[in-house]
Amino acid sequence: MSSQTAHTAPSAAAGHDEGHAHTHHTSTGLDNRKIAIWAFIGSECMLFASLIATYMIYKGRSLVGPFPHTEYVNEAGKVFKPILDIPVTSASTFVLLMSSLFMVLALQAVQLKGTMIPAGAGTWTRLQRSSQLWLGMTALFGAIFLGFQAYEFTSFVHEGLTIKTNLFGSSFFTLTGFHGAHVTVGVLWLMSLLWVDRTRGLGPQDELLVDIAALYWHFVDVVWIVIFTLVYLIQ
């Protein structure tokens, strides 16, 4: 990257708007960091594909319960209810979808900073420029999603399902645990951006930094969209 930074000419940069004044000139005309995040997301697709495939291959092959969608009675006569809690997971899915909305609004707020607020602009127009608000909301909703996941994992363990109980438990906790770890990284990333915004302020020149974090966050969201359907809803 340093070699490309060295080729950045002030006159060339001046040809772009303020928001892209620090764009590095490369052979593709694209910033290396954005290419890198897309390549990373592509590799993550294959990671989650392997985890999802493992879950689906093991689906319905557990010898002992608890099971995801059906009741199970063990040798001692103990009854295990279907373990998946769809209302709770639906709520956490809604929370993650809303966090994606807040993330695009945070990116838009960074892009809009420094632009004139029209005379007589309403509250919404002013809110659209508040990157701290939207970054904070995104991180908060990400943390709420993690809270839902912690509640779900804890209740599963109390109901007798651990990562060692059966094939469903092993593949379920591995898949959703990996996703939860990605959400955790995303929340920490968002909090670091929020800290930067509070200390020095994020502006149009930082658009790429926020855009890269947003791409990661939306990817985490689309992975959950797939997990929610394949793991929780399809029986």
Tell me the two tokens of residue 174: 């591995």
Binding region for another protein (CB under 8 A) out of 70-78, 165-173, 197-205, 227-235: 227-235
Select the residue interacting with another protein from 59, 113, 179, 182 (CB under 8 A): 59
- Using alpha carbons, list the distances in angstroms from residue 106 to 67, 131, 134, 223, 227: 40, 5, 5, 21, 26
Interface pattern 133-162 for another protein (x via CB under 8 A): ------------------------------
Comparison of 7 and 16: residue with beta carbon closer to another protein: 16
Select the residue interacting with another protein from 103, 137, 146, 210 (CB under 8 A): 103
Residue 166 is given by DSSP the state -
Is residue 62 within 8 A of residue 166, CB to CB? The reply is yes
Is residue 130 within 8 A of residue 139, CB to CB? The reply is no
3-state SS assignment for residue 73: strand
Residue recorded with tokens 């006569």 = 77
Select the residue interacting with another protein from 88, 104, 167, 196 (CB under 8 A): 104
Q: Is 79 in the site for another protein (CB under 8 A)?
A: no
Q: Label residues 12-26 b or e (16+ Cβ within 10 Å = b).
A: eeeeeeebeeebbee
* Residues near another protein, by CB under 8 A: 15-16, 19-20, 28-30, 34-35, 38-39, 41-43, 45-46, 48-50, 52-53, 56-57, 59, 86, 90, 93-94, 97-98, 100-101, 103-105, 107-108, 111, 124, 128, 214-215, 218-219, 221-222, 225-226, 228-230, 233-235
